Amino acid sequence: MTAADIDFYKDDLSAPEDKDLFAAIEVFTRIALPQTERTQEGYLLDFKALWNDTALKAVAAFANTFGGILVIGVSDKDGRADDIVGVPSQRHELKTRIASMIASNISPTPPYEIRDVAFPDGSGRHLCIVRVRKGNSLYLLTKGELPVYVRNEDQSIPANSARLQALLAIRVAASSASDLEASQSAVFSQFLFVTQEQPVPHGMTLPAGYQAQRARSATYLQIRLTPEEPQVVRLDLAIEQEFRLIVLKSYPELADNVHDPSPHIGASLEDFRLRDWYQLNYRETLRDHEMGWGIDSSGSVYFVTQVRCKLQEKGQEPEVWSLGDLITNLDCTIEAAHRFWNYLNYPGEAHVFVELRVEPLPLLERVGGFQAAYSSCLYEKGSPRKRAKVLTADKLTRSVKHGARATAAVDLTYATRHSNRPEAVAILANQLLRDLGYSASLDDLRALFS
């Protein structure tokens, strides 16, 4: 693992050697760049030249808000990394002092870990990376007159009465998360689904202008993304318009199809709303294809799409499902949720739940030259929007009889949904494929979006 590969938010920091972690800090802070281009503090990051009471407040604030990284031994200027100064210390002395201060001054003790990093020049200076997880309790600073601190962008500030009430409400809401999930699932299944056109009985001719009947589809991909801390979102026109723009920006060809003046695609995007629910429905008449998106007042994001594709082959229309479409939809939906949560100023963690139903469709396999591969079907047109690459057939092992239904789940941090989506997408795709009886390498699945 190179310095650039180390992720301070999720990797095991005990594994790399000091020299590698020091190099990773240089890369992470962008200390070699001009001051205005260096890494900036934010909701999840703080730099401190020394360990002091201000650093202690940052730990409490991270634990009460979204978690975060505190780097001791890096000075800042106007909120950006300024210099890697280090702290003169014996091996693990600084680490022990920090742990003692946290245990003595924050109640209850928040979930955290510390990694001591010695300077490679033998100067006796050390850095400490303090990684704090958001906990389920309210973490009080017992030192000083103001006990509750929260993170507000790049500052650790005392919680005012409104923020304190919100923190308490969130803890109560988290204790009844199963009830919330049940209600979300009910709304999801009741309103957000895809349909397909029903075949005309053999020998029957429909009169001009007659609309073919549609029925709820038995094949689909559903994705539900929920913030770990339920948000209080007052849905209104501004939020609806922002979500609509996010959807149009996040999926290949979607905006082009909706705004295409030619009628042959027949694409439309319509909305539907309730008091605590907003939904977008997309339909193409050309391919009889539907997708849908929803958001609710807790900040959750929902997606559903038809996975059935019809191929034009020698006068026939065999039906298949596509691995390329599946992976593209996973990536685009996580991106859309990330953009929406950024709009809500929520940089916290989230959960993803996925259900895929493909019975009785076979997996799309195309042959080009001598190489068979699994590719996209619905996302085939040219577009600057990134989509999944093809996976060659030799990299996917299949069983004699594939399954019909698959589920998957993964937890997202701010870092994974912002800059490391291929990892989350690969984990979800791997779980779905294995549920259906297929097997692929995680490295090969990650490479589909490299």
List domains and CATH numbers for the chain.
Answer: 3-173 (3.30.950), 176-449 (no CATH)
How confident is the model at residue 263, as a pLDDT?
Answer: 67
Give the mean pLDDT of 303-328.
Answer: 84
Question: What is the C-alpha separation between 176 and 185, in angstroms, rounded?
Answer: 15
Q: Is the pLDDT of residue 445 over 80?
A: yes
Give the mean pLDDT of 37-46.
Answer: 93
Question: What is the C-alpha separation between 304 and 354, in angstroms, rounded?
Answer: 10
How confident is the model at residue 173, as a pLDDT?
Answer: 56
Nearest to 121 by CA among 26, 5, 27: 26
Say how many C-beta atoms besides its own lie within 10 A of residue 91's C-beta. 12
Give the mean pLDDT of 26-48.
Answer: 94
How confident is the model at residue 201, as a pLDDT?
Answer: 58
How confident is the model at residue 200, as a pLDDT?
Answer: 58
pLDDT-derived band at 178, boundaries 50, 70, 90: very low
> Which backbone phi and psi does 268 adopt, to 5 degrees?
-145, 155
How confident is the model at residue 189, as a pLDDT?
Answer: 63
**Cβ neighbours for 279, distance < 8 A, ≥ 6 positions apart:** 191, 192, 271, 272, 273, 292, 293, 294
The model's pTM is: 0.69
**Cβ neighbours for 270, distance < 8 A, ≥ 6 positions apart:** 280, 281, 283
Give the mean pLDDT of 407-421.
Answer: 85
